[in-house]
Structure 1
Amino acid sequence: MTFPTFSRVVSAVAATTALTLSAGVAQAQIKVGVVTSSTGPIALVGQPQKNTVPLLPTEVAGQKVQYIALDDASDPTASVAAFRKLINEEKVDAIIGPSGSPNAMGVIQFAAEAGVPMFAPVGTAAVVLPMDDKKKWVFKTTQNDDLIARALVQHMVAAKVKTLGFIGTADPYGDNWLKVASALAEKSGLKIVATERFQRQDTSLTAQGLKVLAAAPEAVLIAAPGSSAVLPQTTLFDQGYKGRVYQTHGAALPDFLKLGGRKVEGTVLAASAMLVLDQVSDSHPTKKIAAKYVADYEKLHGSKPATFGANVYDAGLMLQAAIPTALKSGKPGTPAFRSALRDAVEQIRELPATQGVYNLSPADHSGFDERGRELITVKNGQWTLLK
């Protein structure tokens, strides 16, 4: 598939124009770049992220915050160009994005070299693990794969599943999920009898489905983000597969239900409580914040957001928590401020957000625990909390 050049992408979305979200402010003092894939193959992930930008905090500790939003059209090369522009030309103090795991892996070095904190709203834990001098500049606003995988494997064991098939994207998202799932399966007495991979933009998975079908696994785990999570499951359904299907938190979006229809009925996945807010207790630490985000998003855009948009919203909450401390060490636009901002984010403790409660540390730049996941199934075409 051919993607637009970065210059064409910028022209198409007028992305070079800063989104100043406070009336009457010509130039914000704190500048935050946002790179999303609001067009292209992973637009179902990037669009709600782009739509979330107007809901981010516009003033923190008396300082105005300006957001500069760029669309990389789902192209990792364009993500690199966007990061370079934001760092070298716009002199941003932080960057939220990009949307895709391959895109994010390709820009870490630029954020690190420039000393600009990066908030990655992506699935793969590879953006923060294993921790090193480059990844210390990255903070991940989604649950790490192992946290989600443990819940799924525990459900499989309880359901007495013994054999498992795996279908995942041929990229860092699928790579890490295969690694994590394989390790947990071995520890739990599960045997992976089939492993298939595919490209996100593929339009047919007939061959992969038939190979999995031939192995006759009792359950299949699909590891794919956004709309790409649908085709493997609908293909298996059409081929007559009768076993249970598990999905990762990459499938946690309204369009999964719309595109999959009755063919995804009975799916089990683990994701944030945001999918089932009306079904969790009022005492759940994320419910109030997630409900506000959903209501504000729906008021602005006329539709409910996918959890992918909430990952950008949570980046805003992290910035809001860290900026007051960072301002004590330097002025916005300076290396001192950016370094202090990174340090302050790393010290965030018990921060409730839409996706869970963040407890960050030098070793953990995701910071989720079990409060960031719920076991959920698809019942009568709706997300339903598994109790």
Structure 2
Amino acid sequence: MAQGTMDRQQSKAMNWEKVGQYGLISGISIIYVCLVGMVEAFHERDVVFEILTLGVALLVIISIGLGYVIASKTSGGQPGRALLGGIVGGLIASLLPVLLVLFSGPLNMRQMFVNASPNLNNILTFSQESQTTGLLMLVGLLVTLHLFGAAIYLLPHIPRRFIITGLSAILIIGMLQELLEVILARFAVMKPVADFLFARSGLSVSGTVVVFIVVGGLLAWWAAQGSSVQRRVTALPAPQRRALNWVTISISIILLLLLPQIVGSYISQILVLVGLFALMGLGLNIEIGLAGLLDLGFVGFYAIGAYIVAIFTSPTELGLSSTLAGAPTGESFTNFWVVIPLAVAV
């Protein structure tokens, strides 16, 4: 009885240890992408023109994701716990980048971490003249994003799906601006769409809103209605299901045939290269993976090379070296170093 009461009291208490752990994970992740140079390198690329760069988007993704995780792991579904955990986790996470900005200069960290540069500090402090103001803005942003991630966790399934897919679409379409503009510019009717969606670099503000609403809304609708649509398709008679499958396959084949004309020659060449590498990967897996042992594949390749070298260098009657040299058996043989390139080529 007493043990059960104690367990219930522990379950009602906030798990601050986990909050601290996930907050540290978030802070370490932010520090990592900063020190490996990703934030500074990606900062040159806009996702939303003059509002959100890809470098800052990395911090946004980490903060929202860890805020969501903190709420899911520590709140037990209670809104107060989730939001409080998001705030505390954000404060803990912001501590590490703040320390990085404060001590990277005095400690001359660039001797070990070459990317701990003044430019990185400017990015983290939003180019504010006052470092204190910039750091307060950084802390406020990270706490807000962690809180936002925790709030997303508390939403019902459909609104949560809407927000997550909408934000993901903004990130993906903003990064693929050049490729999408090339595709849309091939058709005169789509050029106004491209001009509306994209700015000089990244999405325009109006395009960002439209992408968020349209993509998020469509996927949220599918999340709500997709299961019922699948049930209706499953309930169809067998002949109708087969006909529907053939129609789907036919449309897919037609789209694949038209894809080079739609995307243009440049993207088609990229897709061809991707397909070739995929085929090579499949071939490697078929030859090695199906054997169940990677070592067996290595031994097989080694054996092929070894036999080729042996045949071309052996001075015996079983070898080809004497024949190639035009000399009697045993009097001449091919040089080892001459045969190695041939074995590699085979």
Instruction: Please report the TM-score for the alignment, with normalisation by the length of structure 2.
Output: 0.22
Which has the larger share of strand? 1
Which has the larger share of helix? 2
Larger RCO: 1 or 2 (CA < 8 Å, sep 6+): 1
Instruction: Please report the TM-score for the alignment, with normalisation by the length of structure 1.
Output: 0.20
Which has the larger Rg? 2
